[in-house]
């Protein structure tokens, strides 16, 4: 398929309604709206304090789960 070729897709009406609400201007096409969403999804996002908090909590929990005498005993069984 060439870059200029188009296709027909089916969307639930609720999805179309959400897409309409995301348009930057009234005459923006769905193709433009979806392309913008794809571009945004691909952009790296900066880490937030929440992300940092989750990472610290998960790191401690994983250490608790994996760094224990029972697991080490199995390694040498």
pLDDT in tens, 20-74: 999 999 999 999 999 999 999 998 877 788 888 888 888 877 877 777 666 666 6
Could you tell me the residue ranges of all domains in the chain?
A: 11-45, 46-77
Q: Measure the CA–CA gap between 65 and 38, rounded to whole angstroms.
A: 37
The residue among 63, 51, 7, 47 whose CA lies nearest residue 30 is 7
Residue given tokens 């080490």 in the structure block: 72
pLDDT of residue 72: 67
H or E element, residue 72: helix 69-75
């Amino acid at each position: 398929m060439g870059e200029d070729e188009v296709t027909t897709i089916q969307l639930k009406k609720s999805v179309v309604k959400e897409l309409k609400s995301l348009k930057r201007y009234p005459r923006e096409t769905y193709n433009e709206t979806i392309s913008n969403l794809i571009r945004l999804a691909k952009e790296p996002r900066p880490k937030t304090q929440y992300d940092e908090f989750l990472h610290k909590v998960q790191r401690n929990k994983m250490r608790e789960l994996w760094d224990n005498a029972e697991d080490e005993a199995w390694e040498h069984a």
